Structure 1
Amino acid sequence: MVRVGVIGCGNIGKVHSMILKELKEVRLCAMADIRIDRAEEFCRQYTEGKGHAYESLEEMLEQEELDGIHICTPHFCHVPMAERALKKGLHVFMEKPPAISRQQFEQLEKASSESGARLGICFQNRYNETTKKATELIEEGKIGALRGGRAFVTWNRNAPYYTESGWRGKLETEGGGALMNQSIHALDLLLRWLGKPIKTEASMSNHHLKGIVEVEDTLEAYMEFTQGKDPVRASFYATTAYVSDAPVLIEIAGERGFIRVEGDTVTYQEAGEMEPVIWRSKQSLVPGKSYWGSGHEACIHDFYDCVSTGKAYRNDLKSVRLTFNTMMDIYESAGSEEK
């Protein structure tokens, strides 16, 4: 039995706690939050009153004999908290982003390499059935050699989302906006299918929350993956200035057709076919926001299966390095473009 604590009792902490509560190999026994009342409420809901509530990670680690923790806190806390836990030999499962700077990522790599414990990153959309289906189609060669891709994330985040949080919207604590917070998963999937960019150009803006937030509400990026006669290239667009939270759209174009993932649907068409084929996922959603995707449960289950069996975990730190570095490349390009 793996004894686990959750740090951060907000919306995403709730999703993690609900899943952990049902895992047979896990005992959820501690909650921590700077608002002790929230930690106490989580204990009542998810530990059947048997867990303990704490106001800080430090207090929880001092008082509890844990095997692992889940980090569901503001972005700037992710790396410092993971370092503390890894140094104590605790397994760590942390929400995205893995870091908010290249320096932080290096610190996390060092802490992970020096620890005997596991580190997992919650890139849950890798586990979606739509992701699996699109990957199968690409690997089967349904659309031939890949020519490029596009991704669109058009969501809505208004002023209270930032001002009521105490940390969102600030570069020092959130690290970034529409890309880092809302659309890192879309970027991750685009790179999963197209590989490592050899060229990145980007620009970013703040259209609807000027004077309220320091981070971008809109970002566009152009990426090249190969050059020459038939270059592979992609367009990426993310905004939180839309009027609602629309399903994420990712499309991969090949020499003989296309594959499009949108919400719970995969649409694909091979050259010569009169009509596209529409495939819909039957994967159930964990409670939460539907546009988060449906892979949280599978992602967390897989982490603890790998902890118990010793198998390699697909969402380890090495596996997210390309996505993180590309994200930082995009921000650096967009920052220089602004200047």
Structure 2
Amino acid sequence: MQKLNVGFLGAGEMARIHAGVLRDIADVEITAVTSRHKNSAADLINSLGFKNAAAYTDFDQMLAEKDLDLLYICLPPAAHQGQLEKAVHKGIHIFIEKPIAINEKRARSMVEAVNEAGVISQVGYHYRFAKGIQKLKELIDSGQAGQQALLQGYYFCNSLHSSWWRQLEKSGGQIYEQVIHLYDLALHLFGDYQSAEGMLANLCHQQTEGYTIEDNSLSLIQFKSGALGSIAGSNCAVPGSWKKALTVICENLTVEFENIEKAVFKYHQQGEVETEVFEADQDLYYLENRDFIEAVLEKREAQVPISEGLKAIKLISEIKENNKKRAEQNV
């Protein structure tokens, strides 16, 4: 069987992670990498041993010269400026890293372009592929978990990251770049929301040059089911440590996720408590890539199509807008 030809737009950390995974998947071959800096594209190709791949600085040239089946878009959110639309117009299937855009309007237009083209898409929400998350989703959807009640999560770290990450107009902030994973899980597990409020503040990096994003965020969400949610993010915590946790409480079940991969299920129906632990040595990046490749080969929808990428952006946009209005009222 002929291999699927893969192109990359972007040559940063996430591109390297996905390219490293694809190197071990027999169904695909990376044939091109585009980056603003040709040295970055060439370094990705050489360091991972893609002998038949070409490095580009011009995305349009790559599209014209390479017959691609798949395109991996690994760009900062503000850098999405029509590349996806050009690719899907040629029938190329899309894997796109989160967040898919810098705002809801841009995200919505990208979703529409993918739907009109009829191509297969996948968003890089790899947390969804954890066994505990998938088990909990099954229990909620089947009704076994009972009434959804409360969801509480946090994402704590302390890092300056890349220069673009620290600029609001380029990244959207930590809530967009990191904490969005938890917002996605909240919507995935508890469904659509009814209302959302939040507070964002820069408390620890006011003297850091070029740091224009928030470094702390806190939100309150009411879901259409009536359930409540709270999600916090901080870039003021322990340096070099990334802590992500999630607790989900339902009528018959409480689940505590430690860094997402480990989940402790406590079933408490009719006064009895039974415990089940999900802790597996899983490569979540491999699982999301494998699902995307199989979806293309099988001509089916991937588990996390681009329409899912719009949902968390819509929620976060409302939280940020409400925070802005509150700040203006207090001036």
Q: Does TM, normalized by the shorter one, top 0.5?
A: yes
Aligned to 1:147: 149
Aligned to 1:104: 106
Per-residue CA deviations over 1:230-250 (Å, capped at 9, x if unaligned) read: x42111111111114343111
Aligned to 1:292: none
Contact 2:120 2:300 in 1 (8 A): no
Change (3 A) 1:284 1:317: closer
How far off is 1:278 after superposition?
Answer: 5.1
Aligned to 1:301: 290
Match of 1:203 among 191, 199, 202: 199
Match of 1:326 among 292, 300, 315: 315
Change (3 A) 1:144 1:89: closer
Is 1:87 the equivalent of 2:89? yes
How far off is 1:87 after superposition?
Answer: 2.1
CA distance in 2, matches of 1:64, 1:47: 19
Aligned residue type for 1:310: K
Contact 2:77 2:170 in 1 (8 A): yes
Which piece of structure 1 moves more, 11-20 or 140-149? 140-149
* Matching of residues 161-310 of structure 1 within 5 Å: 161=161, 165-174=162-171, 176-211=172-207, 212=209, 213-226=211-224, 231-244=226-239, 245-263=241-259, 264-271=261-268, 272-273=271-272, 277=275, 279-285=277-283, 295-310=284-299
Aligned residue type for 1:195: G
Identity across aligned pairs (percent)?
22
How far off is 1:322 after superposition?
Answer: 2.5
Per-residue CA deviations over 1:202-223 (Å, capped at 9, x if unaligned) read: 1100111115322111111111
Contact 1:123 1:185 in 2 (8 A): yes
Is 1:336 the equivalent of 2:325? yes
**Structure 2 unaligned runs (5+)?**
none
Change (3 A) 1:329 1:266: same
What is the number of equivalent residue pairs in this alignment?
320
CA distance in 1, matches of 2:293, 2:140: 29
CA distance in 2, matches of 1:305, 1:76: 30
Q: Once superposed, which parts of structure 1, at least 4 consecutive aligned residues long, lie more than 6 Å away?
A: none
How far off is 1:113 after superposition?
Answer: 2.8
Aligned residue type for 2:318: D
* Matching of residues 28-47 of structure 1 within 5 Å: 28-47=30-49
Partner of 2:106, secondary structure, is: helix
Per-residue CA deviations over 1:179-234 (Å, capped at 9, x if unaligned) read: 1001111111112221111111111001111153221111111111258xxx4211
Aligned residue type for 1:106: R
Aligned to 1:70: 72
**In angstroms, what is the RMSD of aligned CA positions?**
2.1
**Structure 1 unaligned runs (5+)?**
286-294
Contact 1:133 1:266 in 2 (8 A): no
Partner of 2:149, secondary structure, is: strand
Change (3 A) 1:171 1:246: closer
Contact 1:142 1:270 in 2 (8 A): no
Aligned residue type for 1:277: T
Q: TM-score, normalised by structure 1?
A: 0.87
CA distance in 2, matches of 1:94, 1:217: 25
Per-residue CA deviations over 1:285-316 (Å, capped at 9, x if unaligned) read: 3xxxxxxxxx2111111111111111122211
Q: TM-score, normalised by structure 2?
A: 0.89
Contact 1:200 1:221 in 2 (8 A): yes
